[in-house]
Homo-oligomer: A and B are copies of this chain.
Amino acid sequence: MATPGYYGKWGGAFIPEVLFETFKELNIAFAAAKADPSFWQEYLDLMSTYSCRPTPLTYAENISKHLGGAQIYIKREDLNHTGAHKANNVMGQGLLVKRMGKKRVIAETGAGQHGVATATMAAKFGFDCTIYMGEEDVMRQRPNVFWMEKLGATVIPVTSGTKTLKDAINEAFRDWVTDMEDTHYVMGTVCGPHPFPEMVAWFQSIVGTEAVEQISKFAGKLPKRVYACVGGGSNAIGIFQGFLDTPEVELVGVEAGGLGLDSGQHAARLSSKDSSPGVAQGYHTMFLQNDDGQMNDTYSVSAGLDYVGVSPILTDLWEQGKVRFEAATDSEVMAALDMTMKMEGIIPALESSHAFAQAYKEAGELSPDDAIIINMSGRGDKDIFTVAHAYDDPSWKEFIIKKGAEYAA
């Protein structure tokens, strides 16, 4: 890295001047924490007592046999407290906030997972908490909103722009520029201005560190490929970090192909031709934007992947050819989810199901002597409204109609 905060030409810290000191302070605090081994130890202790780390690596025996190719292992981030890898980042930032002596946290959330994780962390650490969430995502992920509120957070639906993740990020920044002394913005993914990408990647590296050790133990060798879905990129960079120095391991980032890459209805930044370099939300990366630099309205069945930008770290790795990017369409994702539930008894989040879909497409190309890892970033329970809707499940509908009528009465 030439300039701190840059990954190749990607990254940076395009922040309003009013936050200059806040970022300076954050950079200093983060650097100090990173340099202090006791901080990481405190983090590991917290994650192993409050969450369930190390999370298991599960051998998907049935699907491996069914596909007849590589042996498939699943890294179980769904078993974290709050149900996703988001907890890794959030609890780490929580420790940092405590160190900085701040008393309030804010966050954006797309799928709601990061919001729930942040509200949880705030409850645990005794912080005030406000969560910004695009109005459309509030609709898609209502159960998460309910729990955030019950955890003591204030959830603010964001009605500007496309009413999704990127707008929630803007709104969180608007809060932060108003109230920065006591407030830390808990960025939920490995994006945004420096030092967020570095910080989030650091906390998420716990996934990769564990995964390397586990696969070596269980499969007796490194995996041929590692698959992770990519929204902002935090779960992907988390697991990929375990394998960056071993080029024989192919790293595959899977983006939301939505209705197909040709449909314009997707959120594929690095696997489609629809993105171009840009600067927004505080950093330089490949964005889905028009020729004028206005951000596009992206689409995905999964709220957590429905985002215009992508981690500058991943963009750099992509540019260097160190990570291959692919997209899985909504329908491929639903099929992969279905198969994973029925054959392994595991319910991946819709986001994570993208990684499963791509791995299933490719597993057959590999030999039964090969191992691959799918990073299961989260569990799918949270997606019940979306999944039941996608299945067009009649008894679910009937149930909701009945409940609705009961409440309307």
* Residue from B50, B126, B146, B347 within 8 A of A393 (CB atoms): B146
Question: Residue of B at shortest CB range from A399?
Answer: B142
Q: Are B49 and A56 within 8 A (Cβ)?
A: yes
Q: Are B404 and A385 within 8 A (Cβ)?
A: no
* Residue from B48, B76, B142, B384 within 8 A of A143 (CB atoms): B384
Q: Are B76 and A341 within 8 A (Cβ)?
A: no
In this complex, which of A147, A344, A381 has the most chain B Cβ atoms within 10 angstroms of its Cβ?
A: A381
Q: Which stretch of A25-33, A116-124, A176-184, A230-238 is in the interface?
A: A116-124
Question: Residue of B at shortest CB range from A49?
Answer: B56
A123-176: which residues lie under 8 A (CB-CB) from chain B?
123-124, 126, 139, 142-143, 145-147, 149-152
Q: Are B397 and A407 within 8 A (Cβ)?
A: yes
Q: Are A341 and B152 within 8 A (Cβ)?
A: yes
A119–B343 CA distance with the chains assembled, in angstroms: 11
A331-348: which residues lie under 8 A (CB-CB) from chain B?
338, 341-347
Known: A48-B56, A52-B56, A142-B399. A122 touches B152 (CB 8 A): no
Q: Is A18 an interface residue (CB 8 A)?
A: no
A59-101: which residues lie under 8 A (CB-CB) from chain B?
59, 62, 76, 79, 81, 83
A2 CB, min distance to chain B CBs, angstroms: 40
Q: Is the interface of A mostly helix, strand, loop or mixed?
A: helix
Known: A345-B123, A400-B404, A403-B404. A56 touches B62 (CB 8 A): no
Q: Are B51 and A79 within 8 A (Cβ)?
A: yes
* Residue from B81, B121, B149 within 8 A of A79 (CB atoms): B81
Q: Are B150 and A391 within 8 A (Cβ)?
A: yes
Q: Are A401 and B391 within 8 A (Cβ)?
A: no
Residues of A within 8 A of B (CB): 48-52, 55-59, 62, 76, 79, 81, 83, 119-124, 126, 139, 142-143, 145-147, 149-152, 218, 338, 341-347, 381-382, 384-385, 387-388, 391, 393, 395-397, 399-405, 407-408
